[in-house]
Homo-oligomer: A and B are copies of this chain.
Amino acid sequence: MNKNMEHQFMPVKSVKRLSAYLCFLKSIGVKGLEYVSGAAIAEEFGFLPIQVRKDLAFAGVKGTPRRGFPTQKLTAAIESFLGWDNTQDAFLAGAGNLGAALTGYDKFEEELGLKILAAFDKNPRKFGSVMNGVEVLPIDKIGNLAKRMQVKIGIIAIPPEEAQAVVSIMTDAGIRGIWNFAPVNLHVPDSVIVENVGLSASLSVLTSRLREAVEMECASLTLKKLGE
């Protein structure tokens, strides 16, 4: 096994930033600007230009000195790099409010290429109903159907208590990627990838930052008073 085989993994943070750049590029793309510089992207996000250049280098686009990056090519390159240009089929576990939000959000299919083939729920009253164009089926069928249709992505939008059982069925059925919205830590085989959305964690980051800001203000206020 030689060293050249070693695969360069993409840093998670770069992937996330690239996805943000893409969003921005699409918004300026409509303005018809032929080139965009790393500095311009950096400016928009408050990053340093060198960081943007590093991220873009990962995506493998070459820029032109003095001009920047060709907007169209750059957009296409990042899209391809993030895999937004080919469709991925997914099954959604949970036809509640969150499930409705996910099926109702056209951007996932149109821009990211995530095609939610069907939703699954344990509530019999929902069976056969259509949620934003996606049919709701009994949750018991999820394993067999995933295996038969070779679906590789499962979305977890069910209560945390029920999540692990469904995930196990999914992975047994050959699902390789889990997009998890439930506040539980899921256990899966090594070959399966779990991406946790972690809304509670995200909210915690916001509130802890807010508190830090308030503390800073109090501190500088006290300092000012003492200085008077």
Footprint of B on A, CB under 8 Å?
A: 1, 5, 7, 9-10, 12, 15-16, 18-20, 23-24, 27, 44-45, 81-84, 88, 96-98, 100-101, 104-105, 107-108, 111-112, 114, 132, 152-153, 160, 176-179, 183-185, 191, 193, 195-213, 215-216, 219, 223
CA distance A13 to B81 in the complex (A): 25
- Do A97 and B104 have beta carbons less than 8 Å apart? yes
CA distance A20 to B211 in the complex (A): 20
- Do A198 and B20 have beta carbons less than 8 Å apart? yes
CA distance A178 to B179 in the complex (A): 24
In angstroms, how far is the closest chain B Cβ from the Cβ of A42?
A: 12
- Do A206 and B195 have beta carbons less than 8 Å apart? yes
* Set of chain B residues within 8 Å of A202, measured between Cβ atoms: 16, 179, 195, 197
CA distance A179 to B209 in the complex (A): 12
Known: A7-B215, A203-B108, A207-B83. A185 touches B23 (CB 8 A): yes
